[in-house]
Amino acid sequence: MKERIIVGIDVGTYQVKVVVAKIQSDKAGAPLPIIGTGAAESRGLRNGYVVNAGDVARSVRSAVREAEKATGLPIKRCYLATSSIGVDEIFSHGEIITSRADSEVTEGDIDKVMNDSAERIQEHIPNRKVLHDIPINFTLDGEPVLGRPNGLRGTKLEVDAMFVTVIEQHISDLINAVESAGLIVEDATTAPLASSFVLLSKAQKRAGCVLANIGAETLSIAVFENSLPVSVKIFPVGGSDITNDIALGLKIPLEEAEKVKRGIGGSYSKRKLDDLVTSRLSDMFELIDNHLKRIKRDGLLPAGIILAGGSANLSGIEEVAKQTLRLPARVAALDPGQNGKVRDTSWAVAYGLCVWGASEKEEDSGIGIAKQAKNSILHWLSQFLP
């Protein structure tokens, strides 16, 4: 029986979280068991990007040491997520003439049409790195393709694709900081996509939903429809803004405001506190609503909004989300069958990275941060599809 470990590291602005999971080749399809975790106070980040690489490295090293102590195993390699406000999306169209004499669409044709769509956006994304290129839909000779185009016959193959990008300096600085802590970064993705692997059901992704993760300084969302991610966005607002509002509104120190936000502080006017929290949450959900309007999905996601992150358990948050977005709303939950090793959805990104990394066909996925068409788009998409 072949076993190996896989490590996900979520370098958040509030905490660095490390999840270590075990892969057993004879239990394909079974939930990925967590064998240990580690966490440390995060330093050196602002809105998800690095401002002091040395501080980031020390925070990562501290969290990794805790995970090594919990598992009794050395940690050398990891999968990494970015929640930098530099994460964005751009859409493009590509088209080619199929290459085979019998007009059958091949994997090579899919690579070529995705490359064509990628070439059309290059001048629009200076200083940016493409993390993922995701085909939203294909057409063949003007007819929509229902499913995969491989094996179909036609002359002209077209694609509408979404490219998830990040500021190249941001992702490079983060990888360099983590690797200076003595690790090898095998691959990187965005925090909202990583968390979707463990927080969303296939039914939710198929029907259409938005996953919103409220971090300390960022609010990240991933929008799904027909089982595929159709939008990824990160906003520069988070739980710290709620804490700041409470501190100002109640005229108390930040440390006390954080305790009050978490429901463990002193006694203050509940009405005043609720007004402060609701006002900030409404602003956050309006950002999401405006984005959904821009991509023409507002009010049109049957599975609604799924809330995660350190501030997702605030009292009344579901009702505020429902009223602002006009969508069903619920707080996400992690699989409880992990023996308490992950305590809440703030661990979803790190655990999702393990699930994502474990899905690789080869044990060594290769160092590099982009899963381009040439690295098997259909394998990448298989992680979202039923």
298 and 230 in a single domain? The answer is yes
Q: What does pTM read for this prediction?
A: 0.89
Decide which of 331, 348, 379 is a domain's last residue.
331
**Statement to judge: residues 248 and 276 lie in one domain:** yes
For residue 374, pLDDT beyond 70: no
Whether residues 38 and 178 fall in one domain: yes
Residue 383 lies in a domain: no
Which residue type is seen at 123? E
- We report the CATH number of the domain holding residue 115 as 3.30.1490.110
User: Are residue 137 and residue 176 in the same domain, yes or no?
Assistant: no
* pLDDT tens-digit map of 114-151: 999 999 999 999 999 999 999 999 999 999 998 889 99
Domain membership of residue 213 (yes or no) is yes
By C-alpha distance, which of 292, 284, 288 is closest to 314? 284
Which domain range does residue 326 map to? Answer: 201-331
DSSP state of 374: G
- Mean pLDDT across the chain: 89
Tell me: do 148 and 283 sit in the same domain.
no
In a domain, 207, yes or no: yes
Co-location of 286 and 303 in the same domain: yes
Q: Give dist(CA 349, CA 225) in Å, integer.
A: 21
Regarding whether 289 and 213 lie in a shared domain, the answer is yes
For the chain, give the percent of residues with pLDDT over 90.
Answer: 78
185 and 37 housed in the same domain? yes
Q: Do 182 and 268 belong to one domain?
A: no
- Exposure letters 268-288 (e unless 16+ CB within 10 A, then b): beeeebeebbbebbeebbebb
Residue 294 lies in a domain: yes
Number of domains in the chain: 3
370 pLDDT band (50/70/90 cuts)? very low
Give the position of tokens 């120190």.
Answer: 253
Distance CA 264, CA 39 (A): 21
Whether 31 has a pLDDT exceeding 80, the answer reads no
Average pLDDT on 204-225 reads 95
Q: Is the pLDDT of residue 365 over 70?
A: no
Cβ proximity of 229 and 214 under 8 Å: no
91 forms beta bridges with 162
374 found inside a domain: no
pLDDT of 1 strictly over 70: no
Q: Does the residue 143 lie in any domain?
A: yes
Name the residue among 202, 242, 250 with its Cα closest to residue 226: 202
Q: Are residues 127 and 77 in the same domain?
A: no
Q: Do both 13 and 69 map to the same domain?
A: yes
* Burial (CB count within 10 angstroms: exposed 0-12, middle 13-18, buried 19+), residue 296: exposed
Establish if 208 belongs to a structural domain.
yes
pLDDT tens-digit map of 317-349 = 999 999 999 999 999 988 655 555 677 888 999
Count CB-CB contacts under 10 A for residue 27.
Answer: 13
* 348-355 mean pLDDT: 94
Q: Give the pLDDT score at 380.
A: 53
Could you tell me if residue 255 is inside a domain? Answer: yes
pLDDT of residue 32: 86
361-381 CB burial, b ≥16 within 10 A, e <16: eeeebeeebbbbbeeebeebe
How many whole angstroms separate alpha carbon 247 and alpha carbon 256? Answer: 8
DSSP symbol at 169: H
Are residues 175 and 79 both part of a single domain?
yes
pLDDT, tens only, 33-43:
999 999 999 99
CATH number, position 226: 3.30.420.40
